[in-house]
Amino acid sequence: MAVWLVWLLLVVLMFIFVGIICCAGGGPSSGEYGAYVGGKYWNDPGAFANGFKGVCALLSRFVCQFAYEGFHTDVIAAGTELVGLAASETPNPRAVMPGAVKGTFWRITIIFVVSLTIIGLLLPYDEPRLIGGSGSSASPFVIVLSHANISGLDGRLGERHHLYIGSIIGLSCVYAGSRTLTALAETGFAPKVFAYVDKSSRPLFSVVAILIFGPIAYVNCSDDGDTVFKWLLALSGLSTIFTWMAICLCHIRFRAAWKAQGHSLEELPFKALGGVWGSWFGVIMNGLVLIAQFYVAVFPVGESVSGRDAADSFFSAYLAAPIMIMFYIIGYVWKRQLPKRANAIDLDSGRKSWLTVEDMRTYRAERKKAPWHIRIYRILFSN
């Protein structure tokens, strides 16, 4: 997986380099970027389509939706929670996790934010191929290179990005899905057979169970593939919102339990930069995204709809929310368990770090002796 991520990073860095040149008017004279572009398309037709409603629709898609076609950079942002899953299988989280979290931040900043800013500068939102294109030809990365008349590069990029992203999505989903299924089995919410882990710490039965669903992807080859995909996406479209809201709530509860059970924050080998307030901010922001998505589901962008079309529009955008509520109700009726009090939460099962306050103070005092440039590097990129 690391090899594919490196290739993806190199491809996107190449695009960013070419995109900056094109935006400054340094593209081939035979293309559309032979003259200065700058913020041209942010003025005409504008930076945002469909006003406030369009921003709400974009916000929800930005956070939670896997794009169907094109260069799926959003999966890089939506998969950052995998760092937490990987931590549970790391022998020494104190040494590994800070660098992994910071590296993820920089990859998102470079791959996601910078590349999409360049795309926004080089393509108007009413670009026909963005709206009505199919396959890799609808990728904004491919469209930019095509408009620049950089022959050959757009085709190669179109071929490779499906391979790279498909590999990353497949590997990350199998990894996350199998570990989640194993955790459900260990807590009694899934069949016990999925709790099996072999000598190499691989949840084999869970991996096989997740892989069984892989061939569903071939439904796109049928005539009704778009319809089936739309409803599959509706089932999972808000999953990232619920996932990150749960992560933030778990962090808030963890900090409350840590304090209630007499622990000091100095014992923690790694602390979130925003602390509890950062998690509350995450909960509020995810709540606002859910509200925005509900608004767009009830009042969809474009012409008003009614009757069956209105129901179709609403559930294709918001089906994941009632499904999530239904599973929570089923879980409560089945197990009859409410959230535990802070002083009753189990903080020790599976715990790898048993460092005391004195141990952590000694460790941090040693690190403060490093030269200033080493300390800056550690703050930005390492542990």
Q: What is the pLDDT of residues 333-354, one digit of tens each?
A: 998 888 889 999 988 887 777 8
From 25-34, 130-139, 321-330, the region with the lowest mean pLDDT: 130-139
Task: Choose among 141, 23, 18, 132: nearest CA to 72.
Answer: 141
CA angle, residues 154, 159, 162, in degrees to nearest 5? 120
CA distance 379 to 383: 7
| Size of the chain, expressed as the number of residues it contains | 383
In whole angstroms, what is the distance from residue 234 CA to residue 18 CA? Answer: 36
Dump pLDDT digits (tens) for 278-322: 999 989 988 988 888 888 888 877 767 777 888 888 888 888 889
Sign for the CA dihedral angle at 242, 245, 251, 252 comes to: negative
Residue 260: predicted pLDDT: 93
* 151 token code pair: 């022959």
Q: Please, which pLDDT band fits residue 8 given cuts at 50, 70 and 90?
A: low
Position 43, amino acid: N
Find the Cα–Cα–Cα–Cα dihedral 88, 93, 96, 99, rounded to 10°.
Answer: 90
* Higher per-residue pLDDT: 363 or 111: 363
The pLDDT, as a whole number, for residue 72 is: 36
Range in 145-154, 192-201, 228-237 the model is least confident about: 145-154
User: What are the start-end ranges of the H helices in the chain?
Assistant: 2-23, 40-41, 51-64, 74-78, 82-87, 93-107, 115-122, 128-132, 140-147, 153-186, 204-211, 225-236, 239-260, 275-298, 308-318, 320-335, 357-367, 372-380
Between these two residues, 28 and 256, which has the higher pLDDT value? 256
Whole-number CA gyration radius for the chain? 23
CB burial readout 263-285, b (16+ within 10 A) else e: eeeeebbeeeeeeeeebeebbeb
pLDDT of residue 65: 39
Give me the pLDDT at residue 303, please.
Answer: 66
CA distance 334 to 189: 9
Mean pLDDT of 66-72: 34
Cβ contacts of 125-134, under 8 Å, gap ≥ 24: 125/41, 125/45, 125/46, 125/48, 125/49, 126/45, 126/49, 133/69, 134/69
The candidate with the shortest Cα–Cα distance to 65, out of 218, 183, 232, 210, is 232
pLDDT tier at 7, thresholds 50, 70, 90: low
pLDDT value, residue 49: 74
Query: What is the average pLDDT across 357-371?
Result: 88
Give the three-state DSSP class for 124.
coil
Comparing CA positions, the residue from 13, 157, 141, 15 lying closest to residue 133 is 141
pLDDT for the residue 155: 58
Give the number of other CB atoms < 10 A from CB of residue 192: 9
How far is it, in rounded angstroms, from Cα 186 to Cα 184? 5
Q: How confident is the model at residue 91 (pLDDT cuts 50, 70, 90)?
A: confident
pLDDT of 145 higher than 90: no
Predicted local confidence at residue 158, as pLDDT = 57
| pLDDT bucket at 68, cuts 50 / 70 / 90 | very low
Q: Which amino acid is at 301?
A: V
The more confident residue out of 296 and 167 is 296
List Cβ neighbours of 338 (8 Å cut-off, separation of 6 or more): 332
How far is residue 298's CA from residue 285's CA, in Å, rounded to a whole number? 20
Mean pLDDT score across all residues of the chain: 80
Give the residue with greater pLDDT, 158 vs 265: 265
Contact 144, 119 (CB under 8 A): yes
pTM of the model: 0.80
Quick check: 70 and 139 in contact, CB under 8 A?
yes
Task: Answer yes or no: are the C-beta atoms of 136 and 164 closer than 8 Å.
Answer: no
Cα–Cα distances (Å) from 349 to 74, 199, 345, 354, in that order, read 34, 20, 10, 12
Which pLDDT score is estimated for 221?
79
Per-residue pLDDT for 139 more than 90?
A: no
CA 65 to chain centre: 9
Query: 4 and 168 in contact (C-beta within 8 Å)?
Result: yes
For the residues 268-276, what does the mean pLDDT come to? 83
How far is the C-alpha of 241 from the C-alpha of 230, rounded, in Å? 18
What CA–CA distance (Å, rounded) separates 213 from 119? 34
Task: Output the pLDDT for position 69.
Answer: 32
